Structure 1
């Protein structure tokens, strides 16, 4: 494992797969103390074992980002283990795609709960500690769909536009806390595996198979933002396949 000059305590939500797991691996390689959270504890445990075998410091914690109590328990576990919280990566997200006319209201609510409410809960859980310690860094995952709207993705885009707006507001209100929005394009992950209309899901999978970049590319972008000096705030990064339009 290659260490950095400063080891940070980095919390990552949605870390059981995709961008979250790739970010955990990248942070561990850089010598940071990693606290990983997700609902699928079997995957978290396997990831933690993998990273520990390379000498990393990893704490897996069961996490449901739609519960403020669960999010607070997640941050409390990090504090108990390391005494501070330097970075939160709000990564957990869902993307069931479907036309609005399908009226998949339960899936609308799920996207609002995970993609937006989960980010808010993450901020609420770490902000007091970061203010008390005089600094910190919040990285919120938006999407290219937070910059454009496509058919079947209207509700998903709405949540990701909201994440960008929330992040900009937090940035303007903060002096000691850095705020970064990372907006991935098509990335190899499990986002297209669950929910939504069958045709929309198939189209998204086909596009991802043709275009998608590895999750590690997004993890590298997150690592770049985190690795800047404390007086440098990388506010927004868009990472997409070169062929994506």
Structure 2
């Protein structure tokens, strides 16, 4: 954390969903400091703009892209606008996620739909738009942020675990298709354990932070995935706190 970048990303453009805060902000910073031009995609407009301004002051290149990953048309529109400007996405990081921590008997249909649409369908929409363009260009890298909930669930995590499990399966399929379609495309799933971010702390303020990890560690794992030589690919990486209770 805080050391030299693991990979040189100058000349490459990265899009990070949920990039304005928490893990997303850590990933955006790491990619920008490694030389990438970062598109910070988020529904939190002010936080995203503030992050981009901070990165600009540090000599990095970052700009805000308004995007609700639940809206397939809005996602497609972003990619069409990039094409019109002669730009493309070399690195996609699907990070945006939400959770509703309730027993299944108390969940509403709207809550389930919001979690599944954000955590599973949203990343799939982004992959659809990104992957076909990467195939056409002959390369790129897609990183999907998963969770230990994709491996073993717990109570009050039904929709979240279902979404992350589904995204893990989709990521595995995309990996296999990239092997067939275009050896220049990397596909990586990162199973991250608990992090000291607003995603946890806002919902569970009494959480023992000694059980959590710094999001910068996970962001460095993204950089590692991008650093693997073209002859190999990090298909799936697991990074958890030393005391992670939900792994293996």
Contact persistence 1:9–1:87 (CA under 8 A): yes
Contact persistence 1:116–1:160 (CA under 8 A): yes
Q: 1 CA distance for matches of 2:215 and 2:81?
A: 26
Alignment of 1:56-205 (within 5 A): 56-79=60-83, 83-175=87-179, 176=182, 177-192=185-200, 201-202=203-204, 205=205
Q: 1 CA distance for matches of 2:151 and 2:84?
A: 38
Contact persistence 1:35–1:78 (CA under 8 A): no
- Deviation track 1:114-156 (CA, whole Å, cap 9, x = no partner) reads 0001011101111221111011111111101111011111221
Residue 29 (structure 1) aligns with: 33
Out of 6, 12, 15, the residue aligned to residue 8 of structure 1 is: 12
Q: 1 CA distance for matches of 2:127 and 2:72?
A: 10
Alpha-carbon offset, residue 78 of structure 1: 4.2
Q: 2 CA distance for matches of 1:56 and 1:92?
A: 22
CA change 1:208–1:169 in 2 (3 A) is farther
CA change 1:226–1:236 in 2 (3 A) is same
Contact persistence 2:103–2:155 (CA under 8 A): yes
Alpha-carbon offset, residue 56 of structure 1: 1.0
* Unmatched segments (≥5 aa) in structure 2: none
RMSD of aligned residue pairs (Cα, Å): 2.0
Contact persistence 2:189–2:237 (CA under 8 A): yes
TM-score, normalised to structure 1's length? 0.90
TM-score, normalised to structure 2's length? 0.89
Alignment of 1:212-223 (within 5 A): 212-223=212-223
Residue 198 (structure 1) aligns with: none
Residue 237 (structure 2) aligns with: 237
Contact persistence 1:37–1:74 (CA under 8 A): no
Q: How many pairs were matched up?
A: 237
Contact persistence 1:37–1:60 (CA under 8 A): yes
Q: 1 CA distance for matches of 2:134 and 2:187?
A: 12
Contact persistence 1:9–1:82 (CA under 8 A): no
SS at match of 1:59: strand
Contact persistence 1:187–1:208 (CA under 8 A): no
* Unmatched segments (≥5 aa) in structure 1: 195-200
